[in-house]
């Protein structure tokens, strides 16, 4: 089996497991989580249709993003800055 396929499957499984854990909180069920940082979650609001950064652990909105790329750029910049 191709090692790239195995890596993608592991990522997908971990991604799904992480979202299931966060969805145990009723206030977070509308979000699809893409990244988890020390003090933030980076996600998509599936009800209001926007990408955002949420404060962790409160779940309060920190910032809205135009698209997925802008959100991930912000997440990566946060990692670089720390």
Residues 7-50 have pLDDT tens digits of 445 544 555 666 666 667 777 889 988 888 888 989 999 999 99
Tokens of 25: 């909180």
Cα 82 to the center of its chain, rounded Å: 19
Walk across the sheet containing 61-65 and list its strands: 31-36, 40-45, 50-55, 61-65
Alpha helices in the chain (DSSP H): 3-22, 68-81
Distances (CA, A) of 29 to 6, 11, 45, 47, 58: 28, 21, 9, 10, 14
- pLDDT for 5 equals 45
- pLDDT for 22 equals 65
Mean pLDDT, residues 71-78: 89
């Amino acid at each position: 089996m191709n090692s790239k396929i195995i890596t993608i499957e592991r990522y997908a499984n971990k991604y799904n497991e992480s979202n299931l854990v966060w969805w145990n909180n009723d206030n977070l069920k509308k979000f699809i989580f893409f990244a988890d940082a020390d003090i933030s979650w980076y996600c998509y609001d599936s009800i209001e249709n926007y990408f955002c950064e949420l404060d962790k652990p409160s779940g309060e909105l920190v910032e809205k993003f135009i698209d997925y790329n802008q959100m991930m750029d912000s997440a990566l910049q946060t990692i670089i800055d720390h």
